[in-house]
Chains A and B, each alone.
Chain A
């Protein structure tokens, strides 16, 4: 047994020594971001310019990011939460205040987007891209006008619909359809939307958050409720895909960049933030991921076609109508949706 113990001690010692030496190097940056959001060109450009190596890891939902950030306890230098997630992270002191002096390019960001409900003074976050959630229609197949959720979720479109696989989104659509507040997740409100969502669940063919455009392009469905970036790419591919903001009420989502409180490479994180807020770098991101760019200087560099894309820059959008944090309500929503999906 003594030999065994010696072996354990040696292995543990080796692990600790290598971990300690890794922390000393500041020539790297641990970037944790949404999948499909950073063109490789942008990351390579930063490394070329500064010599800082980027360790790029991705996730598919803000909750996944949160879970891994908590579990990893401070391994990341930059994260990319959505609005409501940034709000709860600020409240729980999980984000580090930004050193604005190190971010001269922050002036490129349109002012209203630096004062949003999740971070009213813009102290902790800078907006990265802004999207909406709306309806996509393949107008070659669907000839009748679709103006909102009521027109979309009809029995004649059974098995022709894709929606993002995000339970909170689906519940929020039902809330606004019934004229309720999208952020008011109470047991009474969940009871009210339950029968409506039960009807919808019977009509939906695919739930896909990562790439809802796949089912639309493949001809498996003709309608969908998707992220605007997906809709914008569909429109770029084929103009038959129309994007509509639902008349019951649409909400934007703001993906921000922020530095976790325990980030090991704070300087590198600031350097990277300032780099991606440069007009020409931000434009590269817009070229590949056509969301609404809050960077006014970058927008000035976009082509007319890019700016005319109805999914990227929809008319009449209220960008302040964001999701707010619902805390423990997320579990109630998950239970409701699991129940309804399972019951069919």
Chain B
């Protein structure tokens, strides 16, 4: 076998030099901004620190021992929990929305997609501050509900876990809707009609026709919501009042408060490793085993 053996499938050709040339910018980019930094992170995580928090190149396992202490493990678990809840809510809210957009007339479809993109024209932080203005005790929502006589005391949502989940769902919902939409748009309506003709009830049409065909979009959506939601720290700080530390906050603190780069690096490495392992397991389970030439 030669040095670069990807499992190739019948009909696929090895990339020629044009292919490599086209890939070169991406490869350079990935090497400079993903591979090298990750390698640096890995090296730092086994080092010690001086009084300024700078890395001292003396080998140590100490950082990993600390990462595995109950405090930090519990923070990992909690962050994953929040991200999972966010993902579930995004699916429940996003799936029907994506379906409706995909099934609407062509004129409406493009308009609705533009509406979905509009929030991205404004900075994410500014939109988060807008939420603070809406949710705060003397804010818009509280004022409206008081005016309508629904509540008598100021609303207490801001700076609670509810606000954090609300902020996360708001931030990541488009990333769930868009990939599901692109899968659903391609779905041939004739298939659904055929299923009905052959006697399927609505539930069976959904579970046996729609879901399997929209699955790639759903999976992409889950990845695009779940992964960034775990590490998010701005929303937990701004809307959660930084009361309950999430893993993103804890890592940030190692660099900006605790002067402990190696420990921050170790937390980052464990975090990255978790993703890689989880993703690999998931890939193995969700993909049918392909024929691989040996």
Residue of A nearest to B254 (CB): A334
Docked complex Cα distance between A8 and B154 (Å): 60
B131 to chain A, nearest CB (A): 12
Known: A206-B243, A218-B132. A60 touches B250 (CB 8 A): no
Interface centre among A60, A166, A334 (most CB of B within 10 A): A334
The answer to whether A344 and B244 have CB atoms under 8 Å apart is: yes
The answer to whether B136 and A219 have CB atoms under 8 Å apart is: yes
1/0 contact string of B15-42 vs chain A (CB within 8 Å): 0010011001001100000000000000
Residues from chain B with a CB closer than 8 A to the CB of A214 are 132, 136
Residues from chain A with a CB closer than 8 A to the CB of B75 are 338, 342
* CB-contacts of B215-256 with A (<8 A): 237, 241-245, 250, 253-256
The answer to whether A64 and B255 have CB atoms under 8 Å apart is: yes
A32 to chain B, nearest CB (A): 14
Residue of A nearest to B256 (CB): A64
Residues from chain A with a CB closer than 8 A to the CB of B51 are 88, 325, 327-328
Residue of B nearest to A65 (CB): B256
* Interface status of B54 (Cβ within 8 A of chain A): yes
* Interface status of B263 (Cβ within 8 A of chain A): yes
Number of residues in B with C-beta < 8 Å to the partner? 43
Interface centre among A66, A88, A218, A341 (most CB of B within 10 A): A218
Known: A208-B241, A218-B139, A220-B159. A331 touches B28 (CB 8 A): no
The answer to whether B137 and A204 have CB atoms under 8 Å apart is: no
Number of residues in A with C-beta < 8 Å to the partner? 44
* CB-contacts of B248-268 with A (<8 A): 250, 253-261, 263
Residues from chain B with a CB closer than 8 A to the CB of A88 are 51-52
The answer to whether A341 and B137 have CB atoms under 8 Å apart is: no
* Interface status of B193 (Cβ within 8 A of chain A): no
1/0 contact string of B169-198 vs chain A (CB within 8 Å): 000000000000000000000000000000
**A92 CB contact (under 8 Å) in B52, B237, B242:** B52
B124 to chain A, nearest CB (A): 16
* Interface status of A3 (Cβ within 8 A of chain B): yes
Contact count A vs B, C-beta below 8 Å: 122
B95 to chain A, nearest CB (A): 34
Docked complex Cα distance between A155 and B245 (Å): 22
The answer to whether B241 and A206 have CB atoms under 8 Å apart is: yes
1/0 contact string of A68-82 vs chain B (CB within 8 Å): 001000000000000
The answer to whether A70 and B54 have CB atoms under 8 Å apart is: yes
The answer to whether A219 and B137 have CB atoms under 8 Å apart is: yes
A66 to chain B, nearest CB (A): 6
* Interface status of B90 (Cβ within 8 A of chain A): no
A94 to chain B, nearest CB (A): 8
Interface centre among A204, A325, A330 (most CB of B within 10 A): A330
* Interface status of A22 (Cβ within 8 A of chain B): no
Known: A7-B28, A218-B158. A331 touches B258 (CB 8 A): yes
The answer to whether B71 and A342 have CB atoms under 8 Å apart is: yes
- 7 pairs across A/B with beta carbons < 8 Å? A63-B259, A215-B241, A220-B159, A331-B258, A335-B71, A338-B72, A341-B245
Binding site for B on A (CB under 8 A): 3-4, 7-8, 11, 60-61, 63-64, 66-67, 70, 88, 92, 159, 162, 165-168, 204-208, 214-215, 218-220, 325, 327-328, 330-331, 333-335, 338-339, 341-344
Binding site for A on B (CB under 8 A): 17, 20-21, 24, 27-28, 49, 51-54, 66, 71-72, 74-75, 78, 132, 136-139, 154, 156, 158-159, 237, 241-245, 250, 253-261, 263
List 9 A-B pairs, minimum CB-CB distance, nearest first: A218-B136, A334-B258, A206-B241, A219-B138, A327-B51, A219-B137, A207-B242, A64-B256, A331-B260
